[in-house]
Amino acid sequence: MIFLTYVFSLQKVLNYRLKAEEDQQRSLAGAFRDVENARNEKERLLLCMNKVQDNYSASQSKQMDVPEALLSCDYIAYLVRCVKEQEETVALCEQRLAEQLRLTEKAMQERKTMDVLKEKDYLRYKYDLNREEQALNDEMARFTYLRK
C-alpha cells in the first residue's frame, strides 16, 4: 500500500505570510512602546513644569532678585515649549500606532486567508484520497465476487 503525504502547494507563501505577520506584530509592539515612552516623557515634563511654577510662586512672596525671576520665567517658557513639542510627538506616535495596527490586521487577515486555503486544499486532498481508496475497495470486492 502506498502512503501519500499531504503537501500544500502554497506552503512557501503561507510561511512568508506567517513571517510577515510576526514582523508586523513586532513593529506593533514597538509602536505601543514608543507611544508609552512619549506619554511618560510628557508627564515628566509636566511634573517638572509644575514643580518649577510652584517654586516660582512660593519665591514671589519673598524678596526675589530680578535675574533669578527672569531665569525662572525663561525656564518655565522653555518647559511649556517642550511640553507642546512632546504633545506633537505623542500625536505622531499615536498616528504611527494606528497605521501599524492597520498593517498588522491586514497581515493577520492575509495569513488567515492562506490558512483557509490550506484547510480547503487539505479537505479536497482527503476527499480525493477517500475516493481513490473506495475505488480500490470496490475493485477488490468485484474481483472477490467474480472469483467465487
Asked, for residue 127, whether it belongs to a domain, the answer is: no
Distance CA 110, CA 20 (A): 10
Q: What pLDDT was estimated at residue 68?
A: 77
CA angle 100, 106, 109 (to 5 degrees): 145
| Domain hosting residue 64, numbered range | 11-111
Distance CA 139, CA 144 (A): 9
Per-residue pLDDT tens, the chain, 148 aa: give them.
Answer: 456 688 889 999 999 999 999 999 999 999 999 999 999 999 999 999 999 888 877 777 667 677 777 888 899 899 999 999 999 999 999 999 999 999 999 999 999 999 999 999 999 999 999 999 999 999 998 888 888 7
CA distance readout (Å), 68 to 46, 81, 113: 21, 20, 66
What's the domain count of the chain?
1
Predicted TM-score (pTM) of this structure: 0.75
- pLDDT the model gives residue 53: 86
Residue 143, in any domain of the structure? no
In a domain, 132, yes or no: no
